[in-house]
Structure 1
Amino acid sequence: MLWDIRPGRNRFFCGGSLLTAEWVVTAAHCILEGEVTKDDFIIRLGKLSSERGIFEENERSTTVQEVIIHPNHDPNNYDIDIALVRLAERIAFTDYILPVCLPTVEDARRLLTALPVGSISGWGRTMQDGTFSSSLKEVNVPIIRQGKCRRAHARYDVTKNMFCAGSETGGRDSCDGDSGGPFVVYDNGKWNLIGIVSWGDGCALRDKYGVYTRVHRFRDWLQEYIGEE
């Protein structure tokens, strides 16, 4: 998780996904709307609780060396909502801290076309206008066809760099505070990062869906920085 360490803050503000021992991917709007620089937050890994003052046995934390927002991110409509955070030190992997797999473009397209059920996780609000969760939560939701996604969010611009996931009847969704976190799909024996929690029109409402950044569209950009680890 991304943890704000500025005076008077001391709280989590977004999620993220570990890609390698020194890189985390998150949503660009987390950095911009949080108005944070690299010195304003730390990365806490292997953490289950979001409560202040709790350091867990399996947790590791590190300061940030660099923040890189995709140069084509549009803050007006959340297009290309992706950013990289370089850790100040390489993190040792454990049973509780492991990187997520970055699928090939072909595999990501195949999975998105198949409309599988994916998993989202975070410490966001547990319902519309509810409280933030004090512990890590997870929910499974299916990917929605793009046309249906656009009709559900007709007032907004759902671009080719986004996809929707959720339940027609509501009740299962990402929400405020989950931004930047992962949308993963299990395939071929591994968890694949397909999306990043980006935005929504309310939370878990009927005929509304969470909107996610299509990570595969920025695979080349990611690998410019993280390499082939």
Structure 2
Amino acid sequence: MTAFADRRAAGRALAERLAPLAGTDVVVLALPRGGLPVADEVARALGAPLDLVLVRKIGMPGNPELALGAIAGPGGQTLVLNEELVAAFGIDRDTIEAQAAPQRVELERRRKLWGGRLAPGALRGKTVVLVDDGIATGATMRAAIAAVRADRPAQVIVAAPVAPPDVVAAMETLADQVVCLYMPREFTAVGVHYASFPQLDDEEVRRILAAAPRT
């Protein structure tokens, strides 16, 4: 079922649900790339600064689409694993690091290319809204939550237009609040719930950030 015309339409709908946060001490962080247009609409509606939380999925050896875990932070210092997969397949630390290494290189490339807008410690005591265009397995969002928690925000809110119910329930154990507009029980991929779901390139990311609200 198509639920949203595009990411910006989804962002405007999400912003309506988050409207009570307007005027509060809030920061909006997007999971790039797809979460950025959604988060941009949320940040504008709330009058909040916008930045990125750098995060990358770590794929299983031989099956990169299956999430072994994810890393977050400019250097990929936050590592969150799917412990069930690690145990089931007997994956050792060296294998995990081998899978994570190229993703850390990509995070560093993105950090240099996209930059950052918030000063160190800028999240402390704030309400942080983590926004993506949808949550499939939750691997990258779990890593994002862990990375943000390290900066001691007052609360962390996860916001996404679409996610399966079991993943939303899992997120509710990690975040202070989860806002999700559509929770289909039969979930295949985020993109099928959008009429238009193009990939964003690096230049589009930079353009959105350059025009976005800032502190």
TM-score normalised to structure 2 length = 0.29
Higher relative contact order (Cα pairs below 8 Å, separated by 6+ residues): 2
TM-score normalised to structure 1 length = 0.27
More strand by share: 1
More helix by share: 2
